[in-house]
Structure 1
């Protein structure tokens, strides 16, 4: 008779702890929220190491937790079809803010503009749990806008 009561008590305690963990900063799914628009950073004195141009517009940006860390995924809109070799290139890391440039290689020959949906390009970058420990905000920037996600 004591065993079912004890099991019920343990189960109730575990459920209470789960709701606290669900809303805590220990839960990796709470680390980064939805992205939001931010101002584009300009660095006039620095020449980028990567000569590929920035994507025209960053449409979406998410930080998706995985067991080993997180995947930063961004969707961008270049000016025409045929852009390739997309990559998130780390620009800077200061005061807990990691900034990526969304860079693409232009088409080798002129391409039609096409519909916006047909031009979308998605790229990603992996961040380990160790690296995430010092990051409070991630910014992905394009030519005309940038998107940010905070812890």
Structure 2
């Protein structure tokens, strides 16, 4: 009985070292062709399509919170009325050295709405920045139509 148990444990230990589950066909994430590479990788000749969303009117706050893998950049904007959606921080090419620059874009509502109270109009957006993206960066600037705010590292 002990001999069978010892042999079974040894066999399982040897099989465990043969392959990683993340690369095997037993992993459900690989069943539809996934797991082959990162979906965020872009070819070297990638050109970002032109942005069709307008800039938010004002930036009210910008914060940078450190995380174990980098930092989370959060910006709060104030559009002219309620109903704005699909907010995003779009990187700006050609920013000064030691600076990351972003523009705060969002999509307007399909139907014109009343302005509403400023607290009801606030829109937040966040972006995770990796350590590699933050390497050598001292200031992060977020721009709007009327102003821009910065966060120092």
Pairwise CA distance, 1:112: 0.9
**2:150 is matched with which residue?**
148
Secondary structure at the aligned position of 1:55 is classed as: coil
Pairwise CA distance, 1:131: 1.3
Higher relative contact order (CA 8 A, sep 6+): 1
State the distance in 1 between where 2:136 and 2:51 align: 25
The TM-score with structure 1 as length reference comes to 0.66
| Larger strand fraction of residues | 1
Report the count of equivalent residues: 104
Deviates more, 1:124-133 or 1:89-98: 89-98
Secondary structure at the aligned position of 2:50 is classed as: coil
The TM-score with structure 2 as length reference comes to 0.65
**2:88 is matched with which residue?**
87
State the distance in 2 between where 1:61 and 1:148 align: 7
Pairwise CA distance, 1:84: 0.3
Q: Which runs of 5+ in 1 are unaligned?
A: 1-47
1:127 matches 2:129 = yes
Structure having the higher Rg: 2
Q: CA RMSD in A?
A: 1.2
Task: Describe the superposition over 1:132-151 as per-residue Cα deviations: whole angstroms up to 9, x where unpaired.
Answer: 11211100010000001123
Q: Which runs of 5+ in 2 are unaligned?
A: 1-48
